[in-house]
Chains A and B, each alone.
Chain A
Amino acid sequence: MSTIASLQVGETGYISEESLDFIPLKLLEMGCLPGAEIELIQIAPLKDPLYICVNGSHLAIRKETASQIQILKSNL
Chain B
Amino acid sequence: MSKNTIKVALIGNPNTGKTSLFNQLTGLNQKVGNYPGVTVDKKQGISKLSATQNAIITDLPGTYSINPTSLDESIVLKTLLKKDIKESPDVILVVADVENLKRNLLLFSQIKDLEIPTVLAINMADQMAKKGISINISLLEKELNTKVVLISARKNEGINELKEALICCHLAAKSSPLCGINYKVDPEYFDELKKISPNYSLYKLWLMVTQNNFPDEITKKEKDKLLAFQQDISKLKKYQHKETIYRYQEINKILNKTYSIDKSKATDLRSKLDKIFTHKIFGYVLFFLILLVIFQSIFDWASYPMDFIDNTFASLSNFAKSNLPNGVLTDLLTEGIIPGIGGVIIFIPQIAILFLFIAVLEETGYMSRVVFLMDKIMRRFGMNGKSVIPLISGTACAIPAIMATRTIASWKERLITILVTPFATCSARLPVYAILIALVIPNKKVLGFLNLQGLVLLLLYALGFLTAILAAYILHKTLKINSKSFFVVEMPNYKVPSFKNVFFEVVEKTKAFVFGAGKIILALSIVLWFLASNGGSDFKNAEKIVVENVANQNLNDDELQQKVASKKLEKSYIGMLGKTIEPVIKPLGYDWKIGIALITSFAAREVFVGTLATIYSVEADDEDTTTIKQKMASEMNPDTGAKRFNFPVGMSLLIFYAFAMQCMATLAIVKRETKSWKWPIIQLFGMGLLAYISSLITYQILS
User: Which A positions have Cβ atoms within 8 angstroms of B?
Assistant: 20-21, 23-31, 33-34, 41-42, 44-49, 51, 55-62, 65
Q: Is the interface of B mostly helix, strand, loop or mixed?
A: helix
Q: Contacts A56-B103, A60-B488, A60-B491 hold; do A30 and B64 have CB atoms under 8 A apart?
A: yes
Q: How far is the CB of B678 from chain A (nearest CB, A)?
A: 29
C-alpha spacing A21/B239, complex, angstroms: 11
User: Of B223-231, B278-286, B646-654, which stretch is located at the interface?
Assistant: B278-286
Count of inter-chain pairs, beta carbons less than 8 A: 107
C-alpha spacing A25/B270, complex, angstroms: 27
Q: Contacts A29-B244, A30-B103, A57-B100 hold; do A45 and B491 have CB atoms under 8 A apart?
A: no
Which B residues from 198 to 253 make CB contacts under 8 A with A? 237-238, 240-241, 244-245, 248
In the complex formed, the residue of B with least CB distance to A56 is B100
User: Which B positions have Cβ atoms within 8 angstroms of A?
Assistant: 64-65, 67, 69, 99-100, 102-103, 106, 237-238, 240-241, 244-245, 248, 270-271, 274-275, 278-281, 283-284, 368, 371-373, 375-377, 385, 486-493
Q: Are B278 and A58 in contact (CB under 8 A)?
A: no
Q: Are B102 and A60 in contact (CB under 8 A)?
A: no
Chain B residues with CB below 8 A from A41, complex form: 271, 274
Q: Contacts A26-B486, A28-B241, A57-B100 hold; do A51 and B491 have CB atoms under 8 A apart?
A: yes
Chain B residues with CB below 8 A from A61, complex form: 487-488
Q: Are A26 and B69 in contact (CB under 8 A)?
A: yes
Q: How far is the CB of A54 from chain B (nearest CB, A)?
A: 10
Q: Are A49 and B376 in contact (CB under 8 A)?
A: yes
Instruction: List 14 A–B pairs whose Cβ atoms lie within 8 Å, in order of A's numbering.
Output: A24-B488, A26-B488, A29-B67, A29-B244, A30-B64, A42-B275, A45-B283, A45-B284, A48-B376, A49-B372, A49-B489, A56-B103, A58-B492, A60-B371
C-alpha spacing A51/B281, complex, angstroms: 17
Q: Are A58 and B244 in contact (CB under 8 A)?
A: no
Q: How far is the CB of B58 from chain A (nearest CB, A)?
A: 23
Q: Are B65 and A29 in contact (CB under 8 A)?
A: yes
Chain A residues with CB below 8 A from B275, complex form: 42
Q: Are B102 and A59 in contact (CB under 8 A)?
A: no
Q: How far is the CB of B280 from chain A (nearest CB, A)?
A: 4
Partner of B375, one of A21, A34, A44: A44
Q: Are B375 and A62 in contact (CB under 8 A)?
A: yes
Chain B residues with CB below 8 A from A34, complex form: 245
Q: Contacts A44-B278, A59-B491 hold; do A29 and B64 have CB atoms under 8 A apart?
A: yes
In the complex formed, the residue of B with least CB distance to A32 is B488
C-alpha spacing A58/B275, complex, angstroms: 14
Q: Contacts A41-B271, A45-B284, A46-B376 hold; do A28 and B244 have CB atoms under 8 A apart?
A: yes
Q: Are B376 and A27 in contact (CB under 8 A)?
A: no
Q: Are A55 and B102 in contact (CB under 8 A)?
A: yes
Q: Contacts A33-B248, A45-B278 hold; do A25 and B240 have CB atoms under 8 A apart?
A: yes
C-alpha spacing A62/B489, complex, angstroms: 10
C-alpha spacing A70/B99, complex, angstroms: 27
The 5 closest A-B pairs by CB, nearest first: A45-B280, A46-B376, A29-B65, A58-B491, A60-B489
In the complex formed, the residue of A with least CB distance to B283 is A45
Chain B residues with CB below 8 A from A57, complex form: 100, 103, 490
Q: Are A56 and B64 in contact (CB under 8 A)?
A: no
Chain A residues with CB below 8 A from B487, complex form: 49, 60-62, 65
Q: How far is the CB of B370 from chain A (nearest CB, A)?
A: 11
C-alpha spacing A33/B246, complex, angstroms: 11
Q: Are B373 and A45 in contact (CB under 8 A)?
A: yes
Chain A residues with CB below 8 A from B385, complex form: 49, 60
Q: Contacts A26-B486, A45-B373 hold; do A56 and B99 have CB atoms under 8 A apart?
A: yes
C-alpha spacing A46/B377, complex, angstroms: 8
Q: How far is the CB of A17 from chain B (nearest CB, A)?
A: 10
In the complex formed, the residue of B with least CB distance to A28 is B244
Q: Are A27 and B372 in contact (CB under 8 A)?
A: no
Q: A30-B103, A41-B271, A46-B376 are in contact. List 17 more A-B contacts (CB 8 A).
A: A24-B486, A25-B65, A25-B240, A28-B241, A31-B102, A31-B106, A31-B248, A44-B376, A45-B281, A49-B372, A56-B99, A56-B100, A58-B492, A60-B371, A60-B487, A60-B490, A65-B488
Chain B residues with CB below 8 A from A45, complex form: 278-281, 283-284, 373
C-alpha spacing A45/B183, complex, angstroms: 46
C-alpha spacing A65/B487, complex, angstroms: 8
